[in-house]
Amino acid sequence: MAEAVPPEPALLNASELEQRLLAVGLHPTGLLSDLGVDDHLARLEADKVDAATLSAYADAIGELSAVSADRGQALPPTLWDVSTPALREAGWTVYTLTEAMASDAGAIHVALLSDAYAAFLERKPNALEGALALLPLSRNYVETLPESARAERERHAKTEGQATLLIWQALLSGTSRYNPLTHRPLWSHGYIGHFSVPHIHQYATGEGLTASQVWGVDGFNPAFVGPPTNSNQVEHLGISALLQGVAHVPGAVLAATEAFEVFVDHDDPAAARADRALNDVVRTVLLPRMEEDPNALVSALTKALQ
C-alpha cells in the first residue's frame, strides 16, 4: 500500500500575511527607505509576488533576527526590507537576498554584521575606538571566507590586508569614492554598502541619520578633527585607507586634493589641515602594518590618533 503523502500547508491569506510580516518586525508603511508591509500587500494584490514568497520572506526575517540575537546583537528586521537600485541591478530582490542571508551560506555575513554592530554599541560614543574595533572583525571575516568567495574578493583586493580595508570601509560607511587623479569611480560596494554600521543603526533606531551623526568624532585628538563642522572623520579615515592602501593614490595627491577643495569649494583650511593629518597617519602608521596582526594595527592607530 502506497504511503500517504501529507497535504501541503494552506497558504496564508492577505490578512494573515499582514499579521505575519508585522509580527517579525516590519514597519506597517516603511519608516525610512524600507518598503513596509503595505508595499508587500500591494505587490501581492497586483500579482507581483505570491503568498508563498511573502510567507518565506517573513520566515527568513524571523530567522535572521533570531540568529543575530543568538550571536549577541540582534539586527533590525527593517534592515532587510530595503530595495536599493544597486540590489536590483545585481539581480536580487529583498525576498531572494533575505532568503540567501538566512541560509547556512549566509551565516558568516550575518555574524559579521551582528559583531560589528555590537562593537559599535559597546564603544559608543567613542568613535575612534568603535571604528578601530571593526578592523580585527574585518580581517577575521576575510580569513574565514569560503574558497568559493575568495575569487570574487581577489578581483578587488590582491592581499588579505587590502581585502580587510575594503570590508572595514564598507562597515564604517559603505560609501563609494572617485579617484582624485582620474575622477573615475575607484570602487562601488554596490548593494553591500547598505549594510554598513550607520545604516544598521538607522534602522535599529528608526532615525534618518548620516554616517557622521551616527559616529561623531569622540576619541580623536582635536588635531585630526579641526572645526566642529568637520564631523566625518571616521568616514574620512576609511576612505583614506582605501585610497592609499588599495587604490595606491599617493598621500601627496590627497594633500593636493584637500588644498584644491579649499581653493575651489571654499572649504575650511582648518578642516583641510585635520584631513591631511589623518591622511598622514594612514600613510605612516596604517600602510606599513596593514598585512600584519590587526590587533597590533589597532594599537598603533589608537596611539597615533587619540
Q: Is 149 helix (H, G, I), strand (E, B) or coil?
A: helix
Nearest of 85, 87, 99, 117 to residue 199 by alpha carbon: 117
pLDDT at residue number 149? 72
Question: Residue 252: is its pLDDT beyond 50?
Answer: no
User: What cell numbers appear for 279 in the block?
Assistant: 591622511
pLDDT bracket for residue 174 (50, 70, 90): confident
pLDDT bracket for residue 147 (50, 70, 90): confident
- For 82-141, how does the pLDDT look when each residue is reduced to its tens digit (9 = 90+)? 999 999 999 999 999 999 999 999 999 999 999 999 999 999 999 999 999 999 999 999
Domain boundaries, the chain: 16-102, 107-305
pLDDT at residue number 214? 98
Q: Is 186 helix (H, G, I), strand (E, B) or coil?
A: strand
* CA gap 123, 137 in Å, rounded: 15
- Which segment of 82-86, 162-166, 173-177, 193-197 scores lowest on mean pLDDT? 173-177
Question: Residue 161: is its pLDDT beyond 90?
Answer: yes
pLDDT at residue number 168? 96
Question: Residue 256: is its pLDDT beyond 90?
Answer: no
Q: Is 102 helix (H, G, I), strand (E, B) or coil?
A: coil
